[in-house]
Amino acid sequence: MDATQILEDVRAWAAAHGIRVGQRPLKPDHAGAFDGLSVTLNSGFKAEEVLPCLVHALGSIVLWSRSRAAVQGMFDELRAAKEDRADAARLERAIKAYRAFETDSSEFAVWLLTELGHGDAVPSYTNFMRADLEALTGFHRTGRLPIWNDFFSRWNEEVACGRRQVPPFRPKPIPAFTPKAIENQVIMQKQD
């Protein structure tokens, strides 16, 4: 898998759909950011580290562009439920909705990778994003973001020895959409 070539192909797809993709130095714990009309990747990260972030961000942009009010409502509820941790059931409902959004974004992402002729990148994308989803779910439950490299290393050890399964994402064709500006979304990966 040539992550640099895949990154270029995904960039070209994004540009053809009205989304600018660039790279520049960002904070060490920011893999990237997106605002609906553009995605900025951290130039300090390797291509294979930002590729899943880019493809996933594009899936998220599709969802935001098609139903901004619903997505904003989901994130507002997650934020409110985290502030009021006394209602554990509310927090779990909000996390469930968040996980559904992230899964939908990944379903678009794996379809896009396959559509661009890079189906060989789907297993590594899936492993990365399943780990990311679990790390962020833990963050929403506890307020503590794990150190990504440590978390992902443990994750991969558990996968390798069969203690953890990595369910595939079902490819979902990206529907017609028009990118819309949204509040800047930071793609976090806490480093050492």
- Computed on alpha carbons and rounded to an integer, the radius of gyration of the chain in Å comes to 16
Instruction: State which residues form the domain around 103.
Output: 3-188
- Return d(Cα 1, Cα 184) in angstroms, integer: 30
pLDDT digits (tens, 9 = 90+) for 64-76: 999 999 999 999 9
The span from the CA of 78 to the CA of 15, in Å, is 31
* pLDDT tens track for 15-72: 999 999 999 999 988 899 999 999 999 999 999 999 999 999 999 999 999 999 999 9
**Which ranges constitute the DSSP H helices of the chain?**
3-16, 47-66, 68-83, 88-115, 122-142, 148-160
- Token digits of residue 80: 């409110």
CB 19 within 8 A of CB 179: yes
Interstrand relation of 20-24 and 185-188 (parallel, antiparallel or unpaired): unpaired
- Residue 145, SS3 per DSSP: coil
Whether this prediction's pTM lies above 0.85 is answered by yes
Q: What is the pLDDT of residue 190?
A: 59
Structural domain count of the chain: 1
